[in-house]
Amino acid sequence: MQTLNEILIPLMERLDRIERSIKQNQVSKIMTIKDLVSYSSLSETTIRRNIQRGTLKPFKKNGKKLFRRTDVDNWLKG
């Protein structure tokens, strides 16, 4: 029969991993152009062209063009 510690310690470790994963996903909700290139498998030129056309709208923070992941997903879906 397992002791309470043998049950709780693995459970706590799993919860810690889940929490770290959630935090990482929250961070990745904002993307740079390089992140967007990697995420979408599109070229930087294609992305910049769509920014110029106004079909993909970034916001600026500290002089960088940033994108919300939800906006990017909607743009990719068409």
How confident is the model over 11-43, as pLDDT tens digits? 899 888 888 777 666 556 889 999 999 999 999
Q: pTM, whole model, 2 decimals?
A: 0.60
- Kindly report the CATH number assigned to the domain that includes residue 60: 1.10.1660.10
How confident is the model over 41-78, as pLDDT tens digits? 999 999 999 999 999 999 988 888 999 999 999 999 98
Q: In sequence order, what DSSP letters do the residues of the chain get, joined into one string?
A: ---HHHHHHHHHHHHHHHHHHHHHHHHTTEE-HHHHHHHH---HHHHHHHHHHTSS--EEETTEEEEEHHHHHHHHH-
The number of folded domains in the chain is 1
Cβ-contact 58, 66 below 8 angstroms: yes
Q: What is the CA radius of gyration of the chain?
A: 19
> Domain range holding 30?
4-77
